[in-house]
Amino acid sequence: MKILFLYFLLAFMGLSMIVTIDLLSELSLSMSLHSIYTAFVNINIQESILMVFFISLPFINAIADSFKKRKQRTK
């Protein structure tokens, strides 16, 4: 769970840094959020599949670790 928290924290920090830089360059908040949205809209299917795969890796790792711990407790 700590690893998942770190991934969410890093994602939040990255997105907040992008928004902060846009706000410092005198863009409105709606334009800043729109620029983030358009970055994700303009990707093709192969990039989408890779993004979903790499985003799901921490969850798969956490689920696998919890199954290993349960298995060790039952022995």
- Which pTM was predicted? 0.63
Q: Are 33 and 19 in contact (CB under 8 A)?
A: yes
Q: What is the pLDDT of residues 5-23, one digit of tens each?
A: 888 899 899 999 999 999 9
The pLDDT, as a whole number, for residue 75 is 64
Listed by start position, the domains of the chain span 1-42, 43-75
The pLDDT, as a whole number, for residue 7 is 83
- Work out the burial of residue 1: count CB atoms within 10 Å of its CB; fewer than 13 is exposed, 13-18 middle, 19 or more buried: exposed
Q: Tell me, what DSSP letter sits at residue 75?
A: -
Q: Are 21 and 13 in contact (CB under 8 A)?
A: no
Q: Tell me, what DSSP letter sits at residue 44?
A: -
pLDDT > 90? residue 42: no
